[in-house]
Amino acid sequence: MNSSWFASRQNYLTRQVRQLRATGRLAVATYGTLQQPAMVRDIGPTKAPWLLNSLYTHLVARPSANGDTAHNPAFFDAFRALQSPSQGA
């Protein structure tokens, strides 16, 4: 991971899901999975960084070597792990 910003936040999803599950009231949690064209329009120093949160970064990253859509290394593995009910508790 080449970004210190992402590296310092790579446990964000896990922490949030743990907090929500601890309430005993979590029914569903969602997360942005795919970038939309509006997210990458006018990228610059004043653009809100939420566009970086997508799990799949197909509009701003090259496809993987096998042709798959590139994924966000900061959040993808945690997101996959959290799909198991035993994770993030």
Is the confidence at residue 12, as pLDDT, over 60?
yes
- How distant, in Å, are the alpha carbons of 34, 39, 40, 42, 82 from that of 59? 9, 9, 7, 13, 25
For the cut 80, the answer to whether the pLDDT of residue 11 exceeds it is yes
Per residue in 54-69, pLDDT (tens digit) is 676 777 777 888 888 8
What digits encode the pLDDT tens for the residues 16-28? 888 888 999 877 7
> Can you tell me the distance from the alpha carbon of 80 to that of 16, in angstroms, rounded to the nearest whole number?
15
CA gap 13, 60 in Å, rounded: 22
Evaluate if pTM is beyond 0.75.
no
| Whole-number Å distance between alpha carbons of 35 and 18 | 25
**Residue 7 Cα distances to 4, 42, 79, angstroms:** 5, 25, 15
Residue 70: pLDDT over 70: yes
